[in-house]
Structures are given as C-alpha cells and as structure tokens.
C-alpha cells in the first residue's frame, strides 16, 4: 500500500496508518472495492451504509472515480441525519452524500432518511424496517472528535440498544465538530437533535471500514484503540468486530506509538 507507515491489530480491529490522507483514502477505497467485488461474486446485490462527513472526502472521491464496481447491484443507505434543518440544507447528510457519491454512480437503490419527518418515531420505524429487511454487507464510517460513530455520542450511545434507528441529542463536542468542519458558522447554528443508526445496527454489518484523518481526531483514536471498550468512547466497539479495518493518516495517529 502506497504511503503505509504501519499496520497492526488491536483486539480484532485491523489498523492502517498512512503518510497522507489521500493515501489513506485510496487504500480504504481499494479494500472497499475488493470486498464489494468479492461479495458480488456470490450475491445478487449488496447493501451498503455510508457516513456523510468531510473525513470521508478522500475515500468517497476515490470510490466515485472507480470503474470496476457494478454500482447497480448496490443498495445504499446512510447512517444519520439532522432533524428539521430543512430538506434543501446543504448540511443535510443525505444532500452531502447525493453530491459526493449517490448522484455520480448508478446505485440500485438509494434509501435516504427523511430529514423533516412529520412523525419522527414513524420515520425511525420505517428506516429500521428497511435496514432489517436483509443483512447489511458493508459500512464505511468515521470517528468523531468525541469518539462517536454515526451520531452515537458518549452519554447517548448504547451497545445493547433495542432500536436500530433512533432520535438522539447531540452533545456540544459533537456539535462543535460540525463548526470545525466548516459546515456551520457557529455552534448555535448546529441542530441539537438527529436521527441515527444505533451501535447494534452498525455492528450487525459483515464488514466495517473506518476512515479517520486529521490531528483533531487523535485523542479519539487513542481512546478508541487503547481505552476500555466502553460507551464512554463509542468507537471502541469497533475492536470487537470480526471484520473491521481502520484507516488513518499520520495526523490522526499522532497520539499513539508507531
């Protein structure tokens, strides 16, 4: 792998550290491509869940440029969405993913979470039913500055959640990250609630590919890899998945020993 600095395992989690975030994104995309093509050898379709965040930019750009995957055999989902921000808001994660990947490839189906549902509970049940209709084959995700995955923040995340989709309150570090990412001008502009796939929904998938650049994620990465597997750092659950890989650039790995 071009630019690979180190590959190691923590519990069951494969960890790859790269010199640059572009190399990180390309390597994650290559593993993703291999997994998709391998599964399509024996399956009519696969079901994939995507994260919407700028941490995914390099990976998504590489995936959008790929010419070897038959995207018409992929049914796509996304993993979280703000509530009542307005359907046309560019910060909506469905809109982000439409621009980054969904509109660029001929996916079989794209299932979006309704960002402005008349009935939030009904929307959670609708999307959960879609997710549970068949196994989830592959999830691509990031890790938040507070250690969240999807919008499962510390204090809200439950490893044994009975739901697969729920409404959740966003903590201040999570909301501040959206400002740091340049999506909102101020903390006050960031919604306080969102719909999210829960930890059990994400962990039900057959393959997890994590993509985490930037030094401001370094503390969360250290806690993910070397802290206890705990809801205090929701991303730590990745260490228990039998087929999970984490791709980082050297900045995100700044607080671990290489």
Q: Does 256 reside within a domain? A: no
Count: domains in the chain? 1
171 in a structural domain: yes
The confidence score (pLDDT) of residue 1 equals 84
CATH code of 214's domain: 3.40.50.1360
Structural domain contains residue 56: yes
List, in sequence order, every residue forming a beta bridge with 196; answer none if it has no partner.
80, 166
| 47 domain residue, yes or no | yes
What was the pLDDT predicted at 23? 98
Residue 64: how many CB atoms within 10 A of its CB? 15
Structural domain includes residue 257 = no
Is 163 inside any structural domain? yes
pTM of the model: 0.96
- Strands 4-10 and 13-18 come out as antiparallel
Phi and psi at 136, nearest 5°, equal -90, 125
Q: What is the pLDDT of residue 258?
A: 79
What is the pLDDT, as a whole number, of residue 179?
Answer: 87
| 255 occurs within a structural domain | no
Structural domain for 220, as ranges = 4-249
Strands 165-169 and 109-111: what pairing? unpaired
Residue 58, both tokens: 């390099």
Q: How deeply is 121 buried, as exposed, middle or buried, from its count of CB atoms within 10 A (0-12, 13-18, 19+)?
A: exposed
pLDDT in tens, the chain (258 residues): 899 999 999 999 999 999 999 999 999 999 999 999 999 999 999 999 999 999 999 999 999 999 999 999 999 999 999 998 888 999 999 999 999 999 999 999 999 999 999 999 999 999 999 999 999 999 999 999 999 999 999 999 999 999 999 999 999 988 988 888 888 999 999 889 999 999 999 999 999 999 999 999 999 999 999 999 999 999 999 999 999 999 999 999 999 987
Whether residue 155 lies inside any domain: the answer is yes
Contact by Cβ (8 Å): 138, 216: no
């Amino acid at each position: 792998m071009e630019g690979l600095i180190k590959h190691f395992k923590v519990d069951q989690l494969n960890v790859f550290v790269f010199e640059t975030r572009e190399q990180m994104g390309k390597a994650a995309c290559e593993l993703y491509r291999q997994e998709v093509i391998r599964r399509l050898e024996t399956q009519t379709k696969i079901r994939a869940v995507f994260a919407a965040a700028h941490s995914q930019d390099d990976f998504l750009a590489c995936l959008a440029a790929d010419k070897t995957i038959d995207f018409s055999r992929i049914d796509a989902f996304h993993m979280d969405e703000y509530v009542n921000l307005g359907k046309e808001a560019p910060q909506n994660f469905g809109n982000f993913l439409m621009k980054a990947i969904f509109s660029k490839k001929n996916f079989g189906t794209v299932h979006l979470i309704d960002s402005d549902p008349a009935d939030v509970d009904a929307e959670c049940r609708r999307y959960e039913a879609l997710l549970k209709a068949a196994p989830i084959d592959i999830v691509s995700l990031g890790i938040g500055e507070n250690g969240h995955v999807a919008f499962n923040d510390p204090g809200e995340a439950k490893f044994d959640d009975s739901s697969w989709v729920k409404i959740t309150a966003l903590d201040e570090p999570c909301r501040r990250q959206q400002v740091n990412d340049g999506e909102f001008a101020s903390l006050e502009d960031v919604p306080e609630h969102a719909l999210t796939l829960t930890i059990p929904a994400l962990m039900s998938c057959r393959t997890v590919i994590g993509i985490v650049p930037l030094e401001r994620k370094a503390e969360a990465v250290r806690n993910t890899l070397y802290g206890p597997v705990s809801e205090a750092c929701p991303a730590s659950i990745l260490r228990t998945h039998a087929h999970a890989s984490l791709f980082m650039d050297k900045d995100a790995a700044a607080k671990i020993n290489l």
